[in-house]
Chains A and B, each alone.
Chain A
Amino acid sequence: MDARRVPRTVSDPKVRQVGFFTPGAPPDRSHSGPPHPASSSPPVADISPSGNSLSPVMIPPPRHLSAELPRGSHLPHAPLSPMRARDSIPVGSYNPSEFASPTASEFTEDALSPNWPVRRSNSGKFASSLPAGGFDMSSVKQNNFPASSLTTVSIVKMPPGITEKDGGAGVEVQKERNKVGSKPLKEKTTKAQRRALQEAQRAAKAAAKADGSETPAASSGVITSANANQLKASKASLQRKDSSPVAAPEKRSSDRAPDKDRKKDVPHPRMQFDDETRVEKAKKRSVVKQTEAKNRVELFRHLPQYEHGTRLADLESKLFQLDPVHPAVYKVGLRYLAGDISGGNARCIAMLQAFQESIKDYSTPPERALIRDLTTKINSYVSFMIECRPLSISMGNAIRFLKTRIAKLPLSLSESEAKAILLSDIDRFINEKIILADKVIVKHAVTKITDGDVLLTYGSSSAVELLLLHAHELGKKFRVVVVDSRPKLEGKLLLRRLVGKGISCTYTHINAVSYIMHEVTRVFLGASSVLSNGTVYSRVGTASVAMVAHQFRIPVLVCCEAYKFYERVQLDSICSNELGDPDAIAKIPGRNEINCLDDWPNSENLQLLNLIYDATPSDYVSMIITDYGMIPPTSVPVIVREYRREHLWT
């Protein structure tokens, strides 16, 4: 099964995104099968409920199950608690699924989770016997779970036109679908179909083996119907109608899901802020009135840059006029804008906590579905936050996670239940992706610190700070060089905390980094994000530090939680970056004698550039320490590929 997965993912990202609607199907079949998702309905029509996922072009059941279970079957054991799993990990090894599997299991729908171990064992058997992965799961599911629980799942993913509340409507719709779907079937007696038949038989056998209760009958029904011509097919559809009307919507939803996902996956074209018409449009929409800065550096005109002085005041004065924004979200936005919170983790946590607050206070308006309404709400919050400060990648990933969770909520849940689930999901995300991830990173990284080391760090990274404190607690003898840079001088705070703990420190500015590098034995850096070409996207200055260290042949270790990984590829720090307040570099508080740039906005010949991030090429990074282990930068795409879908966001 892994062998099957590899070719899909090895192919370049574009191909993966375009052709992703058949993730569960083997690659050869995805070529032979009809290329567009709509044509996946014919097979739906001809197979009966239990075996419905046997069709070659059919999409397997929810990804997290299908993708995760097969891998589990190859592993000797499946750890249930993340902590234990982490303990058992040999340092430096890269054993992804051990970390990943508990998360995945916990993120599945609550309705399903109690039965999890059962399913696992079943599928393990199937996995070994069947080459075409995924479909076995659905059949097993069908056996294990009452139909009612599946109904709920299905409605979630219904296309917007079909918003039935009760099962009856769904059946009606389903009927129509079947009729439509059965027509093209006549013409096609293709290889794909023969293959489907074959697989149906196999599946039936397997299902019979797994639990021989009522499934055999159903699956045999599948076979007959699949065997038969179009008359029989229509009969089968009738049969299905009475037998289990709920199965079909379930399946359809599952084949639609990747399709939707694919749309989401295509990265939005970034707003180019040198495109005047679009900027005008965006301005009309925006909540925060912002005036574009006039003097912008040539290369960076495509990035948003505003007059920083006016924005805070404007936003502040609007406090009571912004009805749609929840106070907690507003407060966080305000603090982003004012620069009170910085740092990828902290911003992400603050945002998630604000979302939690807003979800707590949320109530679905009448005549609206929670899923959709809450999603639009969250969207509006997000756009508000973007106006306050561009999102960091960590936040973007967290938002994606939250939205997936909302979209996956079963419709049958009451509002309070749904809210409770979301709240605990967010909590879990914070705990597992940030807190526990940091702990694991520290555990890994601390092995790289030996007595007598001189460690250099740049800026103030939360992971690195935890690492240093932990190493100190372990009694390791080392010295820290904190390199800092204007205008934020974040390192000072880190320095204060480190010195407060009794760690011997040296503080210097980045200008002196080449001097201090002589004595350094290791460089630990934090990251805002790690892109899939191994580029480390981090606080501006990180690249220079890494380069100098590389030149001195000093290992550069980047500590970054895996939730900050991003599939984008970036080669320079120009095309996507963030511009800070230019005043911050022009003015030095407390030193009026050198503030000669006070009237700079009036000068057309002066442009100030205050970049926030830079991109460190992977060549300068020796190792990336993440919660999945210590990996070379070249392995980042592996993590992104393997875990993004299955574990990071579901």
Chain B
Amino acid sequence: MDFQVVVLAGGFSKDLVPLVSKEVPKALLPVANRPVLSYVLELLEQNNLKDLIVVVEGESAALLVGGWISSTYVDRLHVEVASVPEDIGTAGALQAIDHHLTASDILVVSGDLVCDVTPGAVAAAHRRHDAVVTAMLCSTPVSGPTESGSSGGKDKAKKPGRHNIIGLDPTKQFLLHVAAGVEVEKDVRVQKSILRGVGQMEIRADLMDAHMYAFKRSVLQEVLNRKETFQSLRRDVLPYLVRSQLRSELALNGVQAEENGNDKDASRNAKILLSQLVANASTPSFHELYALGPNGFAPSPGKTHKCCVYIASKSNYCVRLNSIQAFSDINRDVVGDASHLSGYSFSAQNNIIDPSAVLGSKTTVGPQCMLGEGSQMGDKCSVKKSVIGRHCRIGSNVKIVNSVVMNHVTIGDGCSIQGAVICSNVQLQERVVLKDCQVGAGFVVTAGSEHKGESLAKKEKQ
């Protein structure tokens, strides 16, 4: 379908320290014991998009990601991994792989997206309107555990009430205004010309940019080349395109072709007539009406371009893994509410226990749990709404609730873990009590210690 897919897999995100480490870049963070990147790749694979470019920040991360992809998706996907310098931003990353982009439209997907919205829908909306950019919006997820009985996340979820402000036209097809929550201070400035052009604008604060964009390649490259200061697609490129949609400075393909391709007068007239005929018969968007001017026949029609949106329906699951909170939320959801994403088959108890896992006597694993292969659990343990990775050794009398335990973790007897994220190779000695903590890879928590809302990790210099 002439779409090229670019997956922006990021690098070692600072937001996710201590979860990410030198060994585990953001893209490889396990979600239900699978790297988060696999969710995007499999979504694309399902949609028959098998030719991908994965952009990773940093050489070492690129090596790790590339190694994992080649081992997992050999013969299934054709993936090229490109490494770009760190802190270059999403726009910079795209510019870095500029020369690889050849298709007429580019689908840019964030590697940390866990969703079941088909990218085809975004691409179709893009194609239908001949837009320069189409963004996928989804409803903002309710952060923090929604279930009662868990106190986790209460204090963490108290984020400042910042919402993305998104303006839509009445048909909900075009993007009229975007402002990231961070930039909104007190007032929202809306462009007068756009408001006049469209007549009516719907301001929404309950939508989130899902970081799945379809760009027209020529436009994307032009913008990136011209505006070198642009760092981020979401913060710079998209707002720019939205702002300038009624006074476009872009040389769109179609216009150029029309100007160049005509030498004969007769054929030109016929072509104009033809395009007019088609244009008259199609429902005009406000862009066209605005371009034509108030009388319908402006002497020199202004150039416009269209910025479309695709709004995922509420029934779709769509979350980005961009914070620690999101990480535990997604882990919980993938084995719980959005279980269709995990790709595992659930047992009758609505949980996944690998056959090679060993459970002690009187140990219970509740619903919406996952126990990876080769993990051992002692007696009288209880696991609720948690994901436990591979080859973990868990002693007796351990309670694990609402937590994520990665691979090769050793947990001593009598530990109690609530709402925590425990990275690989961590050792919890006996009777450790953790609540809403993150434990970085390889950390050793001493016996009997209690932590609440802390982030435990080895020192950076190590």
Residues of A within 8 A of B (CB): 313, 315-321, 323, 327, 330-331, 334-335, 338-343, 345-347, 349-350, 430-431, 434-435, 438, 460, 462, 465, 493-494, 496-497, 499-501
Contacts and interface: CB of A to CB of B under 8 A. Distances in A.
Contacts of B3: 320
Interface stretch (B269-277, B329-337, B343-351, B408-416): B269-277
Nearest to B47: A320
B274 A430 contact: yes
A131 to B, nearest CB: 43
Contacts of A350: 278
A426 to B, nearest CB: 12
B119 A320 contact: yes
Most chain A CB within a 10 A radius of its CB, from B123, B277, B278? B277
A55 B16 CA distance: 89
30 contacts: A317-B118, A317-B120, A319-B118, A319-B121, A320-B118, A320-B120, A320-B123, A323-B48, A330-B1, A331-B127, A339-B283, A341-B281, A342-B281, A343-B280, A343-B281, A345-B281, A347-B281, A349-B274, A430-B274, A431-B270, A438-B277, A460-B280, A460-B281, A462-B280, A465-B280, A493-B280, A493-B284, A494-B280, A497-B280, A497-B296
Given A320-B48, A340-B128, A501 B297 contact: yes
Contact of B277 (A316, A321, A346, A501): A346
A462 B270 CA distance: 14
B128 A335 contact: yes
A350 B48 CA distance: 27
A435 B277 CA distance: 9
A430 B281 CA distance: 16
Contacts of A493: 280, 284
A320 B280 contact: no
B124 interface: yes
B265 interface: no
A349 B277 contact: yes
Contact of B278 (A320, A346, A499): A346
B47 A316 contact: no
B47 A321 contact: yes
Contacts of A334: 124, 127-128
B282 A435 contact: no
B49 A320 contact: yes
Interface in B10-51: 47-49
B228 interface: no
A331 B49 CA distance: 18
B2 interface: yes
A330 B2 CA distance: 12
B125 interface: yes
B253 interface: no
A346 B124 contact: no
Most chain A CB within a 10 A radius of its CB, from B119, B123, B124, B313? B124
B229 interface: no
Interface string B122-161: 0111011000000000000000000000000000000000
A69 B227 CA distance: 65
B2 A327 contact: yes
Chain B interface size, under 10 / 10 to 19 / 20 to 34 / 35 or more: 20 to 34
Contacts of A318: 118, 120
Contacts of B48: 320-321, 323
A315 B128 CA distance: 12
A316 B121 contact: yes
A568 B27 CA distance: 62
Contacts of A465: 280
A431 B297 CA distance: 25
Given A320-B3, A462-B277, A315 B124 contact: yes
Nearest to B269: A435
A342 B49 contact: no
A434 B296 CA distance: 24
Interface string B79-114: 000000000000000000000000000000000000
B296 A500 contact: yes
Contact of A330 (B127, B280, B284): B127
A431 B272 CA distance: 12
B50 to A, nearest CB: 10
Contacts of A346: 277-278, 280-282
Interface string B288-327: 0000100111000000000000000100000000000000
B270 A435 contact: yes
B281 A496 contact: no
Contact of A319 (B120, B274, B278): B120
Contacts of A434: 274, 277
Given A316-B128, A319-B121, A434-B277, 8 more contacts: A316-B121, A318-B118, A327-B1, A327-B2, A330-B1, A341-B281, A342-B281, A346-B281
A462 to B, nearest CB: 5
Contact of B282 (A321, A327, A341, A431): A341
A501 B274 CA distance: 19
Contacts of A345: 277, 281
Given A327-B1, A327-B2, A499-B296, A335 B280 contact: no
Contacts of A341: 278, 281-282
A494 to B, nearest CB: 8
Contact of A313 (B1, B121, B277, B281): B121
B138 to A, nearest CB: 15
A501 B292 CA distance: 12
Interface in B226-256: none
B297 A500 contact: yes
Contacts of A438: 273, 277
Nearest to A345: B277
A86 to B, nearest CB: 14
A212 to B, nearest CB: 43
Contacts of B313: 313
Given A340-B128, A347-B281, A435 B273 contact: yes
Contacts of B273: 435, 438
Nearest to B129: A340
A464 to B, nearest CB: 11
Nearest to B298: A500
A435 B127 contact: no
Contacts of A316: 118, 120-121, 124-125, 128
Shortest Cβ-Cβ A-B pairs, 10 listed: A500-B296, A346-B281, A319-B120, A343-B281, A316-B124, A317-B118, A320-B47, A316-B121, A319-B124, A500-B297
Most chain B CB within a 10 A radius of its CB, from A316, A318, A341, A430? A316
A349 B278 contact: yes
Nearest to B277: A462
Nearest to A500: B296
Most chain A CB within a 10 A radius of its CB, from B1, B270, B281, B283? B281
A301 to B, nearest CB: 29
A340 B171 CA distance: 13
B280 A317 contact: no
Contacts of A331: 127-128
Nearest to A331: B127
A460 B283 CA distance: 12
B333 to A, nearest CB: 21
A319 B124 CA distance: 6
Contacts of A496: 296
Nearest to A497: B296
Contact of A321 (B120, B281, B284): B120
Contacts of B297: 497, 500-501
Contacts of B121: 313, 316-317, 319
Contacts of A338: 128
A330 B297 CA distance: 31
A327 B278 contact: no
Contacts of A321: 47-48, 120
A335 B282 contact: yes
Nearest to A322: B1
A445 B240 CA distance: 49
A430 B277 CA distance: 12
Contact of B1 (A320, A340, A349): A320
